Amino acid sequence: MKRLLSYMAKYRKESLIAPLFKMLEASFELFVPLVVASMIDTGIRNQDIPYILKMGGILVLLAVIGIVCSLTAQYFAAKAAIGAGTGLRNDLFAHINRLSFAEIDQIGTATLITRMTNDINVVQNGVNMVLRLFLRSPFVVFGAMIMAFTVDVRGALVFVCAIPMLSVVVFGILLISMPLYKKVQKQLDKVTLSTRETLLGVRVIRAFNRQESETRHFEEENAVLVKLQVFVGKISALLNPVTYVIINLAIVVLIWTGAEQVDAGILSQGKVVALVNYMSQILGELIKLANLIILISKAMASMNRVDSVFEVQPGIQQVQAAGAGPSRGKQAGASVPKVAFENVFFSYEGAKEPSLSGISFEAMEGQTIGIIGGTGAGKSTLANLIPRFYDATSGAILVDGRDVREMGLENLRDQIGIVPQKAVLFRGTLRDNMRWGKKDATDQEIYRALDISQAREFVDEKKQGLDMRINQGGKNLSGGQRQRLTIARALVRSPKILILDDSASALDFATDARLRRAIRENTEGMTVFIISQRASAVKQADMILVLDDGKLAGKGTHSQLMESCQVYREICLSQLSKEEVQ
């Protein structure tokens, strides 16, 4: 809650004005029963029409003042709640973007989405209602009790008995319901995850005709959520009937004792009506307070969940000093490798075995490095360590002779253009997508990148140029077209290090060959990493790294590996003809 209060501190004025005007509204509301009592005892008893009209005018005036105070309070409460919620949401989004892949993998995308949307909305709604009712409701309850003492001490004793009973009911249900709301939110995460997986994998689900099984799985998760919600809802639903029973019994006692006092001439009829009205006010406010407490319990549970994300610190810390530093591992005057791995080990969080073990190699400036191996050999993991998406468990990764952990992330990643396995494009124009690599890229630079990536042909066919619209995720393009555009996006920034992580898997062999030739001819001075399961894609590389179960099974040129590396030889013989192997 301290974090939420820090956001509310920016809206001190609104946070004070909102409850102040609510209490002002409540103050005028407390005078209404007295005015009604006076109207009955004086106006109606004496049939004094002018007095009745006068009191009626006062009631109307109190109502108008109450509405003005209520609207003012609502405006400032909403301003504070929405402002705090917006700040919280913006900071949470920024914090998530600072987390490394390891933390995002650990927390889960579905959980992050739920906390960014549903949880913060619940907190925002809770803040709004607290500012409006948290002081008003207790003020009316105790104010009505005090006002009841000014009317009749004996009748007010009923209030003294009823209010503690109501407090026990309200806070008892609160203590039971709060832990249950936390379980509801956790189950909501699971439903969100199931929904997200289904929507992202809808093509695969339909291709394998698994709609019914996915529907059943969703219904099972949703049924658990509904069961939890119904259970906690039943407990929360006890608030209204129990409070009504207590209040109505108190009203019966009030009317009973009041009637006896009226018969005895001790109490007037108007005062009995005033006492009943005060009890009714307490009923209304306690119901509001009960609902508010339920909302507060939800908001607190949601805020704790949001706060737990803030408490996760990025495993990859940004380095403040991003300037040049001394190179490592080379004598003065010797050439420094553009990228070097020194006995690198890496394990994913919770993994029993390392994904990479003892990886060492050097890639010089301008070289093309091929990385090949079977599925799960660690090819993509190796690529993700270069831009420091993950940190090595042990060993060192050097760029220009400097450990990547000693470089600023922005400085490091500005040198790197990476094309991931899954081609990701964003909604907008082609020009907008290409400028993700370089904000001020000219059309000429973009077209040059499209030429190299073999995407120019199909872009020209669409006759929209760089204004061609791209749907979310590039769903209006084929897999091969998306891959070529993501390669072009990486080439636009003219990076010093280009990483192609199996980025041509959807291309035919002829287009793949033209792409590799164009990259080789137009990337002078650029260190290129080509990760592929195709031997033909890495055959011409200056150096080929062969990975097998996370270990470096071989390193060298194609001809060297054909003689010295059995794993590489088996891959080539299974994919290439005898003529192509040579």
Q: Over the range 193-214, which residues count as b (16 or more CB within 10 Å of their CB) and which as e?
A: bbeebbeeeeeebeeeeeeeeb
Average the pLDDT over 309-329 and give the result: 65
More confident site: 324 or 516:
516
Tokens representing residue 47 in the block: 């049939």
Residue ranges of domains in the chain, CATH in brackets? 2-310 (1.20.1560.10), 339-581 (3.40.50.300)
Looking at the predicted structure, is the pLDDT value of residue 320 above 60?
no
CA–CA separation, 298 and 301 (whole Å): 5
**With pLDDT > 90 as the criterion, what percentage of the chain qualifies?**
21
When computed from its CA atoms, the radius of gyration of the chain, rounded to whole angstroms, is 36
Query: What integer pLDDT is reported at residue 505 of this predicted model?
Result: 76
CA–CA separation, 214 and 195 (whole Å): 10
pLDDT tens by residue, 182-223 = 788 788 878 888 887 888 788 888 888 888 888 998 999 899
Q: Over the range 344-354, which residues count as b (16 or more CB within 10 Å of their CB) and which as e?
A: bebbbeeeeeb
pLDDT tens by residue, 364-378 = 998 999 999 888 888
pLDDT tens by residue, 105-130 = 788 787 888 888 888 999 999 999 88
More confident site: 437 or 36:
36
pTM of this structure: 0.70
Average the pLDDT over 555-577 and give the result: 88
Query: What integer pLDDT is reported at residue 323 of this predicted model?
Result: 47
Query: What integer pLDDT is reported at residue 250 of this predicted model?
Result: 82
Identify the CA nearest to 529 among candidates 362, 407, 412, 287: 362
CA distances from 172 to 56, 303, 548 (A): 41, 22, 61
Query: What integer pLDDT is reported at residue 324 of this predicted model?
Result: 45
Looking at the predicted structure, is the pLDDT value of residue 350 above 80?
no
pLDDT tens by residue, 131-153 = 988 888 888 888 888 888 888 78
Query: What integer pLDDT is reported at residue 334 of this predicted model?
Result: 53
Looking at the predicted structure, is the pLDDT value of residue 448 above 60?
yes
Looking at the predicted structure, is the pLDDT value of residue 561 above 50?
yes
Query: What integer pLDDT is reported at residue 223 of this predicted model?
Result: 92
Average the pLDDT over 457-473 and give the result: 87
CA distances from 437 to 417, 433, 455 (A): 8, 8, 16
pLDDT tens by residue, 27-41 = 888 888 888 888 888
3-state helix vs strand vs coil in the chain, percent to 5 = 65, 10, 25
Average the pLDDT over 544-556 and give the result: 91
Average the pLDDT over 59-87 and give the result: 92
Query: What integer pLDDT is reported at residue 333 of this predicted model?
Result: 46
CB 113 within 8 A of CB 192: yes
318 pLDDT band, cuts 50/70/90, is low
465 pLDDT band, cuts 50/70/90, is confident
Query: What integer pLDDT is reported at residue 582 of this predicted model?
Result: 63
State the average pLDDT for the chain: 85
Looking at the predicted structure, is the pLDDT value of residue 332 above 80?
no
pLDDT tens by residue, 298-310 = 888 888 889 988 9
Query: What integer pLDDT is reported at residue 503 of this predicted model?
Result: 80
Query: What integer pLDDT is reported at residue 100 of this predicted model?
Result: 81
Query: What integer pLDDT is reported at residue 75 of this predicted model?
Result: 93
Lowest mean pLDDT among 7-11, 49-53, 149-153, 490-494: 149-153
Query: What integer pLDDT is reported at residue 321 of this predicted model?
Result: 47
Average the pLDDT over 465-470 and give the result: 90
Give the residues across from 532 on adjacent strands: 372
Lowest mean pLDDT among 20-24, 45-49, 441-445: 45-49
CA–CA separation, 28 and 126 (whole Å): 26
